[in-house]
């Protein structure tokens, strides 16, 4: 029994992925910053959880490697980012997840993100969605959910 619990603990995302600790916060799916889509149309357009996972991986990798915005990501916890970003996308796309990350304001605090940086991020996301062959209209419908988050991301 003890061995089983220890094994289960090892399998939790935090233990398996070696995330850095963050300041305690209240877990609430509304931290995702947008209400999920209704129905399963968007989840299917994004290839379900498998497709979303590939999009997030490609997106995060591109951002860390980006000539322009890579340095903003350099000090971020890449392991945690991959997990919470997947959860956020999956939750908003109504693909069967909940979101356990921080709200957008807390997650982007003091990053010094400028408008052009956010646009580059959007372009990287568009490229990742394109690589997964998400139809362009569906890409835009998803971006429509993310666009209002700018006020919590970009520093004036």
Residues belonging to the binding site for heme are 108
Q: How far apart are CA 131 and CA 108, in angstroms?
A: 26
Residue 20 vs 140, nearer CB to other proteins: 140
Toward other proteins, which CB reaches closer, 83 or 89?
A: 89
Tell me the window of 8-16, 54-62, 80-88, 148-156 that interacts with other proteins (CB under 8 A): 148-156
Q: Residue 55: which of 134, 121, 132, 123 has the closest Cα?
A: 132
Binds other proteins by CB under 8 A, chosen from 58, 80, 83, 120:
120
Q: By CB under 8 A, tell whether 147 contacts other proteins.
A: yes
Of the candidates 101, 117, 124, 125, which one interacts with other proteins according to CB under 8 A? 117
Could you tell me the end-to-end alpha-carbon distance of the chain, in angstroms, rounded to an integer?
A: 54
DSSP string, 25-90: ----GGGGSSPPPSSSHHHHHTTHHHHHHHHHHHHHHHHHH-TTTHHHHHTS-HHHHHHHHHHHHH
| CA nearest neighbour of 19 among 82, 113, 106 | 82
Build a one-symbol-per-residue string for 39-78: x at contacts with other proteins by CB under 8 A, - elsewhere: -----------------------------x----------
The footprint of other proteins (CB under 8 A) covers 68, 114-120, 122-123, 126, 130, 136-137, 140-141, 143-144, 147-148, 150-151
């Amino acid at each position: 029994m003890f061995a089983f619990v220890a094994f289960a603990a090892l399998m939790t995302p935090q233990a398996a992925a070696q995330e850095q600790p963050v300041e305690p916060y209240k877990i609430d799916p509304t931290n995702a910053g947008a209400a999920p889509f209704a129905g399963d149309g968007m989840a299917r357009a994004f290839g379900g959880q498998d497709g979303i996972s590939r999009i997030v991986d490609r997106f995060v990798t591109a951002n860390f490697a980006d000539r322009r915005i890579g340095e903003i990501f350099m000090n971020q916890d890449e392991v945690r980012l991959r997990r919470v970003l997947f959860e956020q996308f999956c939750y908003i796309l109504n693909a069967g997840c909940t979101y356990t990350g921080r709200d957008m304001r807390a997650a982007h605090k003091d990053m010094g993100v400028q408008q052009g940086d956010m646009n580059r991020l959007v372009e990287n996301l568009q490229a990742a969605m394109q690589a997964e062959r998400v139809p362009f209209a569906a890409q835009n419908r998803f971006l429509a959910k993310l666009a209002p988050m700018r006020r919590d991301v970009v520093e004036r």
